[in-house]
Amino acid sequence: MDVQPDIPWTLDAITDDWLDAALRESGVLGEACVIAHKVGAAPETGLVASAAPLQVSYDRVEAGAPSSIYVKCTRHVPDICETEVGFYRDLAPWLGDIVPRCFGAWWNGRSRSTILLEDMASFEVGTWWTYAVDDAARALEAIARVHARYWDRAPVVSWLHLSRTLTPEAIAALAAAVDPFASRFPFESARVLAEASRAMLRRPDDLAALLAGFPQTLTHQDFHSQNVFPRSRPGARTTIFDWQLTAPDLAAVDVAYHLAASLPVADRRSAEDMLLDRYLAALTAEGVRGFDAKSLRRQYALGLYRIIYVMTATLGSYPLDALNRSNERAHRYGVEDGWREMIDRVAAAASDHRFLSLVP
């Protein structure tokens, strides 16, 4: 799973022969041969990737041969391509069923990657609008297993970059997005996020130094409800996907991101203490020591920096038509303005935990 010149970098370039060779190399094919494949559903096309399930036919029945796989083709962003391929090559094998099984991952050394994953279409993916507190609890227990494995010893591999949130390039992007964000969303909760973002911009090096003083681990960096399959593993455990932004950071970044983005304000407030206790118990069960409830709560409040950055930088820079299209999914769940709901959620978390008072 590495840099290779003969890999199909788009869904329509995949052939039966290539798919047969890839699955055989992964060890899931013995005597059976791929004789046909077809896209099982309309491809999902985002700003940087296209993905779809493939239905696979063989010349004979063979135990373990997947009847369906999920193909993701990413384009345009070299470090995202490299990171996701590296994650599935070097780290995913150690994480078991927390992540989808990978049958192959390739990067062209520039701005293309192709990944073959276990198709989990039989399970319902989480959404921002139907996510339950119990779902969040199981997701936190799953991410705690990742955090514990790399606690205070984030893996050292060439493709794993520092968190993209406080790099000079990221800070410049946030600075360019704050005013457009405030103009696009002229209401109080957006003002709270804009103010928090401006505070981060004043002394980003000091904020980075503060964060670096806490134990670092492997984090997801985009850990929200639409990147998990709740109750998809034995024991109703959760599977987490979309690891292309994974980076070393303090563990509470993922916890804060997940709860602030994934739960309605009232649900988060009423269940927050219980959820943090569940996460801490899972960390402790996996062997993490010297990290108590007080430490978690302080780092949880600081960890909101990542979701505040993402909301402001994304909503202040993405084309309005793209944001409007994204809102269509919210409409299907009876949510009139999905982005306003998300802004309200994150701003409430920032206010509840006095984020501004913690920024250097």
10-residue averages of pLDDT along the chain (360 residues): 71 94 94 93 74 94 94 88 95 94 93 92 84 96 98 90 89 98 98 98 96 96 94 82 94 99 98 99 97 97 98 95 84 91 98 97
pLDDT for 49: 82
Please give the CATH topology (third level) of the domain spanning 133-358: Aminoglycoside 3'-phosphotransferase; Chain: A, domain 2 (3.90.1200)
Task: Provide the pLDDT for residue 332.
Answer: 86
Q: Which of 60, 1, 49 is CA-nearest to residue 26?
A: 1
Q: What are phi and psi of 271, to 5 degrees?
A: -110, -5
Q: Are 345 and 265 in contact (CB under 8 A)?
A: yes
> Residue 50: beta bridge partners?
45, 73
What residue spans in the chain does CATH classification 3.30.200.20 cover?
11-118
- Give the DSSP H/E element, type plus range, for residue 55: strand 49-58
Look at residue 1 in the predicted model and tell me its pLDDT: 47
Residue 354 has a pLDDT of 98
| Amino acid present at 247 | A
Domain with CATH 3.90.1200.10 in the chain: 133-358
The DSSP letter of residue 221 is S
At residue 47, the pLDDT reads: 65
Question: What's the topology of domain 11-118?
Answer: Phosphorylase Kinase; domain 1 (3.30.200)
